[in-house]
């Protein structure tokens, strides 16, 4: 059985004060959780403050992105070694906001995935279709293409010790959630697609759902056979809501 993972993506929100308050609340509330893994992904500049509180607890910390390069003249970027240095266990790669707002292609995301994997940090690899693609009936094709970019560079075992987040772009930050049936169907497709390369890894890999998951819909979504938790945006910014989603994963 796969243990569910609930990961909060705080995006570019909060202040130094509010972030400290949020992580203190999450760490306190997470003490009573069992059978669910919890992670938070703060803005880079607050990672040190967050790991200072979360270090040694059952709340893991991740970055929201990483540079494709390992070091050097890349102004404004953050390397995987720096992320590791500050105690992160996860790094999100290929979030749809990075793909759409910052032009990250499937190949760039695959490069980031490789950098994270090679460092021993767990990538949270985001994929998902736009509304236009869903309406055009090519949801599975899009997800397969995004996954195949990683297989091409990393080989058949690419998704060992990795997490995948299926996040339909039309559901992110919109309040529109994929129905449990819609989400389950894509999650099952993703698992089968990975199984074509390595069935053992496909059974093990955690596939999270992301897209307006909240305390009201989390239990039913995470209750689906192939949904192994959630990547949570808006609802991860409120301690009670985030903990309620974590509880739904138990």
Q: Which residues are catalytic?
A: 95, 167
User: What number of helices (H) and strands (E) belong to the chain?
Assistant: 11, 8
Point out which span in 14-22, 43-51, 56-64, 230-238 binds ligand PEP (CB under 6 A).
230-238
- Cα(26)–Cα(238) distance, rounded to whole angstroms? 9
Binder of ligand PEP out of 88, 231, 243, 246 (CB under 6 A): 231
CA 112 to chain centroid, in Å, comes to 14
Residue 125's Cβ-side half-sphere holds a number of Cα atoms within 13 Å equal to 34
Position 63 contacts ligand PEP (CB under 6 A): no
Q: Minimum distance between the CB of residue 99 and ligand PEP, rounded to whole angstroms?
A: 12
Residue 230, phi then psi, degrees to nearest 5: -145, 150
- Ranked by CB distance to ligand PEP, the top (closest) residue is 233
Binder of ligand PEP out of 133, 167, 226, 241 (CB under 6 A): 167
Contacts with ligand PEP, 181-220, as mask; x by CB under 6 A: -----------------------------xxxx-------
Q: Minimum distance between the CB of residue 143 and ligand PEP, rounded to whole angstroms?
A: 16
Of 176, 172, 201, 18, which is closest to residue 95 (Cα–Cα)?
Answer: 172
Helix axes 47-54, 16-30, angle to 10 degrees: 30
Contact 245, 7 (CB under 8 A): no
Position 8 contacts ligand PEP (CB under 6 A): no
Applying CB under 6 A, the residues found at the interface with ligand PEP are 9, 167, 172-173, 210-213, 231-235
């Amino acid at each position: 059985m796969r243990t569910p993972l609930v990961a909060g993506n705080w995006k570019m929100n909060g202040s130094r004060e509010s972030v400290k308050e949020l992580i203190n609340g999450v760490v306190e509330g997470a003490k009573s959780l069992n059978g669910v893994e919890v992670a938070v992904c703060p803005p880079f500049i607050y990672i040190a403050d967050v790991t200072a509180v979360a270090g040694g607890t059952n709340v893991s910390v991740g970055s929201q992105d990483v540079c494709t390069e390992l070091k050097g003249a890349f102004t404004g970027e953050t390397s995987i070694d720096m992320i590791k240095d500050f105690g992160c266990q996860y790094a999100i790669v290929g979030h749809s906001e990075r793909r759409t707002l910052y032009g990250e292609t499937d190949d760039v995301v695959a490069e980031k995935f490789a950098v994270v994997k090679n460092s021993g940090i767990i990538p949270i690899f985001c994929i998902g279709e736009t509304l236009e693609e869903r309406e055009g009936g090519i949801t599975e094709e899009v997800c397969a293409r995004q996954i195949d970019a990683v297989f091409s560079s990393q080989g058949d075992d690419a998704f060992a010790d990795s997490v995948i987040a299926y996040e339909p772009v039309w559901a992110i930050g919109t309040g529109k959630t994929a129905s449990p049936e819609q989400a389950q169907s894509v999650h099952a497709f993703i698992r089968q697609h990975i199984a074509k390369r390595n069935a053992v890894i496909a059974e093990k890999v955690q596939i999270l759902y992301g897209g307006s998951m909240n305390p009201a819909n989390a239990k039913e979504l995470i209750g689906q056979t192939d949904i192994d938790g959630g990547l949570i945006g808006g609802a991860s910014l409120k301690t009670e809501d985030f903990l309620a989603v974590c509880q739904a994963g138990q």
